[in-house]
Amino acid sequence: MKSSPRPFQARRTALLTFALLLALLPSLQIRLAAQAVESAPPAASPASSAPANQAEPLFRLERTPVAGGAEILTIFGRLDGLPRDKEDEAEVPLVSVLRDTLGDNDPENDRLRYVWMLTYTRPTFLQRLASGVPFLYSRAGNRTSAPSKGAPPPIIDLAKTDREVWNKFFWAALQNIFLDSYGFPVKAATRSYRRNLDDYRKSHVTRALAILSLYEAETGASPLFTSDEMRDIQARLMLSEKALGGIVDDIFLQRVYAKETTLAKDIRGHNWELLRQRAESEKLYFEPLELPDGSATHAILWVARPDLVTYKDRPFKSRFLNIANPWRDDRLRYWNGYVETRYFDADNREVPADTPGARPVQMIPLAIYGLDHPRVPILLVDFRDGMNPKWRETSRRVLEDITRTVLSLSRFGDIPYFLSRTVYDFVTGRRGMDINQPTRLRTYSQLKLLLSLDASLDPQFRDEINRRLERVSNNPRENGMEAEASIARAQYEALMNYARDVNGLPARLERDRREEMASYQKRGQAAKVVTRLANILSFGIYTRREEMTPDFNERLDKARRMNYYRRFLREAARRTPQIEVVYKMEDVRRALQFVADNGALADGKTAQAAARIFAQTKDDEARTLALRCLYRIDNETAKSALLRIYNSPQTEARWREMSAEYLRLAVREDQRIAPADAKAIMSVTSQ
């Protein structure tokens, strides 16, 4: 391959430099806020405030049986913040989850499957067309109704999260190897289409997470959703935004949920205090916007109209506020937009209107900020300059589209670009510049949900915010807030029709069970890789499924129970060095007993968990069952663990004797033993 001529390299380097400067331009005046303001948590944490009293519950859960042994659990919410016709109710179906129960009430063999965010819909033809137009950062109308046929698309299949990871790798390879080779038009259109598709899904994943969190905060322990199920669903949704999140083991889900929620609370608390202190120092008014559970995800800055005269010569330090000086802005002096009248006492504290001595003050909104950015609050709405947040919203994407699509630069193939982008990411990350596209996507989605749930805002003000948000949106697939309520109702009705159709959801459920059963069959790693590649390359047409037999449900029931107890034992072994301190021993013994009775279904991870349980408990019955598990599990990992227990100097004589007896039985039954362990085991059996 011929090398590019030097003039082209020079032009490309110049264009790269220009693109980087262009992206940094709106943030040149941002300073490091953390050096000026203490980051201590506020006296009253915004994430732990008590929820406002509701005249009636904000959410309710509805259970719908599905033929074949399953149920759909749907969370309904009161969207009091949305305008509606007289015949429409405020209650709207929001999130639906399919739970496969195998037709019984035992949670040990249940499996969560699909999650539907009912506002997540297939786009119209115009929206599809617009999402493939390069450098089109704007909405392309609304879908006025849900598709007439078929079920709504789920945002995630909780039983097959690893497939999403492989699909991403497949599409990345297809894009870079095949589609990009057809020239700029195809390359730009396909990259734009995939980017808009991913962003649209991520925005609805964010809303689904918020709704599940609000529902859990309001209802606590639900009779239909266990706390572990709720946290598993939320953790999987959190991980769906990460490149390799789909292959994270189930035993880490509770840890992921705890880590992510704690981090979010810390960031919001930090930004709450940061923005409040900055507002006070600039003589502005800070007001948090809280979700129904009391967590503050956004905040508004106001300016008092009389202060525009009082502080007309006052200097203004924008820092991370990223708005123009309000004291010298003629737009505010002659403001004819939205204004609120509030009442203050002699100490300038806000009080009710009927308070003696209260004086009225007109308040003008300046900006709305999101509190989820890792370092500083993010500007979402600028009431004086609509292009200010729009530019910040698109700046990072413009940079990526220019470098990757127009200039064909890659971090892995172009050293100057790699070095420039590394410096750029370091500077923007360290200084907390609010041009982080993924964070903005989440924060905008949360604000749209907040506006639809919160009826305390003045309708005129809410409409003003919504109108400005619609202008900032840069995804052609997005629909307006008012359209989404009708879409959710229509998609819920379509889902119910799909569930009632014997050739619809029940038939799909049967196919999923056959595919699940095939995955439990013990096969070589090479065979599993070939099957997965065949499924991906055929776009899901080829899928390996088990044949239906009279004992199919019984075998599937045992396989699911084994998965349930395997996860329980692995979590118990990892969570504490002394099992009795955290877990009830009857639960541990029941899990070990099931594994010992069905050892043919267990794998190496189950064997490792049983060995760790043996070492981390003093309960004789549990230790006896753990050794029996290692004997009944027919794989090399189990026998290696059993041999280590026998050879350990810390093992008591009675347990060494029991281990030796189990090793002798394993040799007689010709169980699988690693060649490296075979000689040592033969010496044991000869004794």
Residue-wise pLDDT for 62-81, tens only, equals 999 999 999 999 999 888 77
Q: Which residues pair with 361 in a beta bridge?
A: 342
Strands 350-351, 340-344: pairing kind: antiparallel
Least confident of 233-242, 306-315, 447-456: 447-456
Residue 169 pLDDT exceeds 90 = no
- 87 or 61, which is more confident? 61
> What distance lies between CA 674 and its chain's CA centroid?
41
Helices of type H across 286-408 = 307-310, 330-333, 387-400
Whether pLDDT at 491 is above 80: yes
Helix (H, G, I), strand (E, B) or coil at 341: strand
Report which residue type is found at 27.
S
- pLDDT computed for residue 29 by the predictor: 33
Mean of pLDDT values over 272-297 = 89
Whole-number pLDDT of residue 218: 80
Alpha helices (H) in 36-85, listed in sequence order: none
User: For the ranges 19-23, 410-414, 561-565, 641-645, which has the lowest average pLDDT?
Assistant: 19-23
Return the bridge partners of 72, or none. Answer: 64, 98
Query: Is residue 557 pLDDT above 50, yes or no?
Result: yes
Q: Does the pLDDT value for residue 39 go beyond 90?
A: no
- Residue 104 makes CB contacts below 8 A (sequence gap 6+) with 69
Q: Would you list the DSSP string of 232-254?
A: HHHHHHHHTTSTTGGGS-GGGHH
pLDDT at 13 over 60: no
**What distance in Å separates the CA atoms of residue 287 and residue 266, rounded to the nearest whole number?**
19
Q: What pLDDT is stored for residue 360 in this prediction?
A: 92
Structure tokens at 557: 């029931």
In the numeric block, which tokens belong to residue 510? 């049967």
Query: Average pLDDT, stretch 46-60?
Result: 54
Q: CB-based contacts of 430: which residues, under 8 Å, 6+ apart?
A: 32
**Residue 643, pLDDT score:** 92
Query: What integer pLDDT is reported at residue 55 of this predicted model?
Result: 53
Which element (helix H / strand E) includes 570?
A: helix 552-575
**pLDDT-derived band at 177, boundaries 50, 70, 90:** confident
> Which residues are CB-contacts of 278 (< 8 A; sequence separation ≥ 6)?
33, 37, 319, 320, 321
Q: How far apart are CA 232 and CA 255, in angstroms?
A: 10
> Do 99 and 69 touch, CB atoms closer than 8 A?
no
Residue 83 pLDDT grade (very low, low, confident, very high; cuts 50, 70, 90): low
Q: What is the pLDDT of residues 146-164, one digit of tens each?
A: 666 678 999 999 998 988 8
Residue 482: its pLDDT value, please?
76
> Among candidates 589, 505, 561, which has minimal Cα distance to 107?
561
Mark out the alpha helices in 576-652 (DSSP H runs).
579-582, 585-597, 604-615, 620-632, 636-647
**What is residue 535's predicted lDDT score, i.e. its pLDDT?**
74
Structure tokens at 88: 């429409």
User: Could you tell me which residues are beta bridge partners of residue 66?
Assistant: 70
Residue 78, token pair as written in the block: 């009161």
**Which runs of E-coded beta strand occur in 373-512?**
378-382
| Contacts (Cβ under 8 Å, ≥6 apart) of 664 | 684, 685
Whether 165 has a pLDDT exceeding 90, the answer reads: no
pLDDT at 687 over 70: no
Q: Which of 638, 555, 495 is nearest to 62 (CA)?
A: 495
Residue 402: is its pLDDT beyond 90? no
pLDDT higher for 145 or 70? Answer: 70
User: Percent of the chain at pLDDT above 90?
Assistant: 43
What average pLDDT does the segment 234-261 reach?
Answer: 89
Bridge partners of residue 562, in order along the sequence = none
User: Residue 6 pLDDT > 50, yes or no?
Assistant: no
For tokens 């549990």, what's the residue?
A: 622
The average pLDDT across 357-369 equals 93
Phi-psi region of 432 (alpha: psi -120 to 50; beta: other; left: phi over 0): left
Mean pLDDT of 587-610: 94
Give me the chain's average pLDDT, please.
Answer: 83
Which of these, 655, 574, 657, lies nearest to 616 by C-alpha position? 574
Give the global pTM.
0.83
Residue 86 clears pLDDT 60, i.e. is over it: no
Give dist(CA 405, CA 409) in Å, integer. Answer: 8
Q: Which residue has the tokens 């045992």?
A: 558
- What 8-state DSSP symbol labels residue 603? -
Q: Report the range of poorest mean pLDDT among 270-274, 334-338, 374-378, 562-566.
A: 374-378
Task: Please say if the pLDDT value at position 497 is more than 90.
Answer: yes
Token readout for 184 is 């700029």
Q: What is the pLDDT of residue 394?
A: 81
Helical H runs in 174-252?
184-219, 227-239
Angstrom distance (rounded) from CA 111 to CA 258: 22
- How far is CA 345 from each of CA 279, 287, 355, 357, 657, rounded to the nearest angstrom? 20, 18, 8, 6, 83
> Band of the pLDDT at 463, cuts 50, 70, 90?
confident
Q: What's the 3-state SS for 464-479?
A: HHHHHHHHHCCCCCCC
How many beta carbons lie within 10 A of that of residue 392, not counting itself? 23
Supply 250's token pair: 């189930």
What is the share, in percent, of the chain residues with pLDDT greater than 70? Answer: 86
Between 50 and 256, whose confidence is greater?
A: 256
Cβ atoms of 385 and 324 within 8 Å: the answer is yes
Residue type at 94 in one-letter notation: L
Average pLDDT over residues 521-536: 73
Residue 457: which pLDDT band, with cuts at 50, 70 and 90?
confident
**Does position 429 have pLDDT exceeding 60, yes or no?**
yes
Residue-level pLDDT at 499: 94
